[in-house]
């Protein structure tokens, strides 16, 4: 049985229905018309930096486009999970892929090009 990670802060309030049903703390990929949209987080150390990327892949798993959603540079000496920012929703709406981070407004990206909409 897998061990669930513990956090020293309240877990993020997920909004994506599929993630809620799966009882996860991360959004699940979504698919529309043969394109899968997913969010991944890359973490590096020294200095500690985390960056969320939104990626669109086709049915053969080829990357159609990839774009940065959010980048966080951690404050040294402050507990890491207190500084973490979680993606709480991912969905397609009209011509946009929408990514919502906790405590922030949704970011909208053109679903064909990955460019952010202001």
Give a yes or no: residue 34 inside a domain: yes
**What are 114's two structure tokens?**
């990955």
Residue 53's CB is within 10 A of a number of other CB atoms, namely 17
116, HSE (Cβ side, Cα atoms, 13 Å): 11
Phi, psi of 81 (to 5 degrees): -70, -15
| C-alpha to C-alpha distance for 56 and 54, rounded to whole angstroms | 7
Number of domains in the chain: 1
Give a yes or no: residue 78 inside a domain: yes
Give a yes or no: residue 6 inside a domain: no
Give per-residue pLDDT as tens, 34-83.
999 999 999 998 889 999 999 999 999 999 999 999 999 999 888 888 88
**Per-residue model confidence (pLDDT) at position 50:** 93
Residue 68's CB is within 10 A of a number of other CB atoms, namely 12
User: What radius of gyration do the chain's Cα atoms show?
Assistant: 15
CATH number, residue 36: 2.40.10.480
Give a yes or no: residue 64 inside a domain: yes
DSSP class of residue 85?
-
Residue that has been written with the tokens 């930096």 in this structure: 49
The pTM for the full model equals 0.85
Alpha helices by DSSP H, the chain: 17-22, 80-83
Range of the domain at 62: 19-117
């Amino acid at each position: 049985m897998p061990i669930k990670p513990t956090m020293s802060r309240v877990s993020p309030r997920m909004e994506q229905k599929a993630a809620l049903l799966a009882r996860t703390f991360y959004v699940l990929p979504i698919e529309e018309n043969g394109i899968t949209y997913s969010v991944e987080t890359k973490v590096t150390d020294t200095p500690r930096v985390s960056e969320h990327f939104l990626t669109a892949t086709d049915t053969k798993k080829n990357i159609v486009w990839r774009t940065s959603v959010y980048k966080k540079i951690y404050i040294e000496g402050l507990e890491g999970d207190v500084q973490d920012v979680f993606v709480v929703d991912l969905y397609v709406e009209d011509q946009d892929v929408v990514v919502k981070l906790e405590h922030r407004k949704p970011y909208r990206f053109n679903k064909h090009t990955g460019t952010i909409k202001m």
